[in-house]
Structure 1
Amino acid sequence: MDLLNTVKSRYTTKAYDPEKKIPQEKFNKLLEILRFTPSSVNIQPWHFLVADNPTAKERIAKALTGRYAYNAPKVLESSHTLVFCTRTDISPEYLNQLLEQDDLSGRFKDEKAKLGQKDTRHGYVEFYRNEQKNLFGWMENQTFIALGQLLFAAGLEGIDATPMGGFDEDVLNEEFGLKEKGLRSSVIVSLGYRS
């Protein structure tokens, strides 16, 4: 399928065939695409929870009651559902881990380039934390880049997707202990095949 036809043919799926599962090879490809999502200064502030069985999907559905109940079947009947989470803060330790991973991946031509990346990353984090007073907002924007990448990749693979912002964030964060892990839920995405 070409790119323009993918964009024109995909839509937010309202109902899934619970009997039709995404082949593991295709799902692994989607996870790999998420892993390679670009982000500002390669900050990668996201974490993805994957639900591929009824018990895990039921845990997510706890955040889909009351005014959000219309979204519960999209999770419960999907093949897979992902919760996109965003870090609530960026520590110096995390920045150092990123820098070392970039170094191992061969992203720097020399030590000067590595130090330049370190300074740039620290500068962005401090700018959004101290001047803009919106570090989380900047990081969550990066998470939404991953969302876009997943939706497009799923379309290319012929997999239907439903991004959902209609959920009780507090319930979901509590259910998965996200606050204690330094994370917040940002968006839910169900994947599978339309009914």
Structure 2
Amino acid sequence: MSRILKVLIFIVGIFVFFEVGLFASYSVISSDGVNVDEIISTQIDEVNDFIGSLTGKKTLSEQETLNVTNDDKVALILNNMTNLSVNLGSVTAKVSSGDDGNQTVTLTAIATKDTQITSGGAILIVPEQTYSITATATGEVYSSGKVEIDTTTIALKEKMVLYNQNSTNTAGGSIDNLVQYAQNNTTNNNTTMANNTTKKTRA
């Protein structure tokens, strides 16, 4: 018997011994019967995660965005829902689970509200406002990192203004108003306290 064959038989023996011990311990701990498929599937997943950690491959839930195979249809649906122009290249999809199959997908995209202006006799279409859109949908997620969205399940969750040409920084304006409001309240409170102190002194 060759040396390589002996090594292979030794490895197979260790593997069989390990599996028998695992099934025996599972049957002792669990009151239910041994679910062979579940145990093997769990081991395969753990091996895949270990290999992925060595190769640097990210799981589906860790990827910044999945490859949306029907992004053109998704963008069209978002256009109709928001009455905006969605940037096709900005459509991203993310899942919270590392498993493949049918599951909920979070969609994000950048869209603009366009306006027409006349310049030199020509009509130009320029973005008046820029929006960030967030939606959810059901999608078929593949282990390769691709996802096909069921466009009939798309539900709009948020539409937020990022830029408005009539107000250079919408968010900043809101913060400025909040700061101004706080300062006015502080000034009014200080004035009221000073008046009350004056009245008490006179009394």
> TM-score of the superposition, structure 1-length normalised?
0.21
Q: Which has the higher strand share?
A: 2
> TM-score of the superposition, structure 2-length normalised?
0.20
